[in-house]
Structure 1
C-alpha cells in the first residue's frame, strides 16, 4: 500500500493521493459530527419551545374561558395573544424541516466518506469488508421552503 502522497508512475488519471483522501474523509466525518450536534441543539430548542408555547396557550385558553368576566378590551387582547402564540407554534415546523434536512445531508456525507475510504483504501481490511451507508434515494426530503399559518402537527 502506498503511503502519503507517493504515487506510482503508472497511477491512473484522477486518482487521489492517499493523504489527500484521508484528509477529505476526516473533513467529511467532522462535518457529519457537527451536523449531529446541530441536530441535538435543534431538538432541545424545539422541545423547550413546544413546552412553553403549549403551556402559554393553555393558560390563555383558561383566561379566555372567563372572557365574559373581563372587560371587552382585555378579552380582545387575550384573543390576539392566543393568535400570536398559535402563529409562533406554526413556526416550530422549522424544527421538523431542519431535522429532515440535517438527517438527509448527514446520510449523504456518510455515504461520500464511506465510498472515498473504500475506493482509496480498499474494500477489505482486518475487520472485514467495508460497509457503506446507503445514500438517500430522493434528492431532497423537504420540498417546503416557507411556513404558513394553519392547522399543524408537531413531530
Structure 2
C-alpha cells in the first residue's frame, strides 16, 4: 500500500480523478445513446407511416382494376429501406449500453478496492478494468447509407 498520510491522500486524489473521468465518459455515452434513440424513433415513425400510406395507395389502385409498374413500388421500398436503416440503432445502442455498464462496473470495483482494500477472507478482489477505448460507437445519429459492421 501507500506509505505516509500525504502519499495516501495523493493516491486517493488520483483515484478520485480517474473515477471522475470514467463517470464523465459514461455520461457522454448515455447522452449519445439518447440522441441515437431519438433519431431512430423519429426515422422509424416517418418511414413506417410513409410505407403504410404508399402501400395503401398502391392497393387502392390495384383494387380499382389498375395495373402497376415495378417503378411504382420504388417509393414504398424507399420508405422500407429507411425503416431498416433506423433499426440499425439497436446494434449501436446495445454496444453503448454494454460499454457503459462495463465502465460503471470498473468504477464500482475501483471504489471498493480503494475503500476496502484489494483482498478479503475469500482472496483477492476481482476488479474489472475499464475499456481502453473511450466509446465503441462514434455515431450521434442514424443516417441512410452503408451498413458498418462492428
Structure 2-normalised TM-score? 0.53
The equivalent position to 2:80 in structure 1, one of 81, 85, 90, is 85
| Contact residue 111 and residue 133 of structure 1 kept, 8 A | yes
5+ residue gaps, structure 2, are 13-22, 24-29, 31-36, 38-43
The equivalent position to 1:139 in structure 2, one of 128, 131, 134, is 134
Higher relative CO (CA 8 A, sep ≥ 6), structure 1 or 2? 2
CA distance 1:130–1:121, shift in 2 (3 Å)? same
CA RMSD of aligned residues (A): 4.1
CA distance 1:13–1:109, shift in 2 (3 Å)? same
More helix by share: 2
1:94-113 Cα deviation digits (max 9, x unpaired): 11111111111111100000
| Contact residue 123 and residue 129 of structure 1 kept, 8 A | yes
1:40-72 Cα deviation digits (max 9, x unpaired): xx9xxxxxx9xxx9xx9xxx8xx9xxx9x9624
Q: What is the count of residue pairs matched by the alignment? A: 106
Match in the other structure for 2:119: 124
5+ residue gaps, structure 1, are 1-9, 16-27, 29-34, 36-41, 43-48
Residue 153 of structure 1, CA deviation = 6.3
Match in the other structure for 2:67: 71
